[in-house]
Homo-oligomer: A and B are copies of this chain.
Amino acid sequence: MKADKALGVALTAYWRGDPADVSVNAICQLAGVSKPSLYREFGSEDGLKRAALDRYADEALSDLFAILRRGGGLEETLDALIDFASADPRMESGCLFYKMRAGKHRLGPRTRARVDEIDLAARAGYAAFLQARDEAGELRDGLSVEAAAAYLGEQIGLAITQRASGETPARVRGMMELALSVLKRGDGRAIE
């Protein structure tokens, strides 16, 4: 279907740019799809945005969650997260989820609800991972798993956002190593 192509076009347009700055008209033009067709398929701009976010979660965020569920050690997993946020080419232009969350007030109700869902799921994923590492004695003492999960999520978001704004991968990586080192028990030593 043409509407399916439109969804792909919308996803990449929202992802590369700012979701609030991509108009329905532009998506129709880019995808070669008429506006009524698009509205028949998705109902509204909110519906299209939500569908794009759904696809994004399946396509890109799932990789992030997979890292957390691999069951690796703390250091190894944090390294993988740092790699993902600072070097994965797909994140070069930012993370659609974080972009949408940053401009949540501009979203329709359905998309906003999905953003909140993903936010909760991500926090839960971080918390489950950190809980396991804490039970393995790898987490820094006196750190609340809940707070550390929020911290980890925000630092990943910050890193991806910085990268999207033109910061070099090396610099983003350095900042992230600095920020995440504080989660480790031994206490992070200085980064090279």
A: residues with CB less than 8 A from B are 18, 20-21, 102-103, 105-106, 140-143, 147, 150-151, 154-155, 158, 162, 171, 174-175, 178-179, 181-182, 187-192
A182 CA / B190 CA spacing, docked (Å): 8
* Interface majority SS (helix, strand, loop, mixed), chain A: helix
How distant is A101 from chain B, measured CB to nearest CB, in Å? Answer: 9
Cβ–Cβ contact A154 & B175, under 8 A: yes
Can you list 7 pairs linking A and B with CB atoms under 8 Å apart?
A: A18-B106, A147-B174, A151-B175, A154-B162, A154-B175, A179-B179, A182-B182
A154 CA / B161 CA spacing, docked (Å): 11
Cβ–Cβ contact A192 & B142, under 8 A: yes
